[in-house]
Structure 1
Amino acid sequence: MDYLKTFSLSAFLSPGALSMLQTFSGAVLGASFYVLLRAQPYLVNRSYDPKYNAMYISRLITGVVAGIILSIGLQEAIGHSNAAFTPGALAILGGYAAEAVEVILKRLVDVLLAIFQGAPTEQPKANPQPKKVSTSSPSGATKSP
């Protein structure tokens, strides 16, 4: 039984692989927790309908992807604050709050668009209104189209 006390994944995995395993496990944990919390009332009331299985599976996968994005892609931005988070903790948060990760990504895209396109007031309008052209009739009266 002594071998169980000294077992460590770090002996078998490189630091990068161990970090990825923590990230993936955290994302799965956070997404699973969210799905279970949403399904629990239906299970307790015995009113769960299997036609919603695809929705729960979709949310689970979305949560895992969001957890990985938050942990890997945004770790530098979030990890340097006063409360530094480990990759696993960020993945749990992202897996649980996939909608928050979506909002973060949308805002980053808006910032990038503003940098490269300029401010909305500086941009030309895509569909300018056609100017009214007045024409003169042979009688000298002006009419507009």
Structure 2
Amino acid sequence: MPQDTASLDISLPVKGACHCGTVSYEMTSPPKHAVKCNCSICRSLGTVWGHGSTKNIKITAKPDATIKYVWGDKQLAFHSCKTCGATTHWEGIAGDAIGRMAVNLCLADPGTIEAIGLRSFDGAETWKFLD
């Protein structure tokens, strides 16, 4: 069973950046879990998400620094750096997703995912955690 992040020593804010440094993020409270999802987009992007509220996540980038990709139910916009191509985050843009965001924890310091605790999520079929 995954650990509760309240008992872990995680340096705050959790910070990450794309390969070239054009897009960065700071998460002021740790995510409950690091989440590896098996849906088609997450598998293609190779991401591990740290979910949170837009109130607790700050994205630093120039206005046109990312390419937004919106598909399916059009509730999420996935952002990738225009310069290096790294997927940095997604933001909720419609429906129940408004006010939610996730950052790609693969772009944080080594050991961050392990400190938070990784969970696998079945976004392809059941919409349930697999552990």
Range of TM-score over shorter length: under 0.3
Name the structure with the higher strand share.
2
Name the structure with the higher helix share.
1
TM-score in terms of structure 2 length = 0.22
Kindly indicate whether structure 1 or structure 2 has the higher relative contact order, using CA contacts under 8 Å at least 6 residues apart: 2
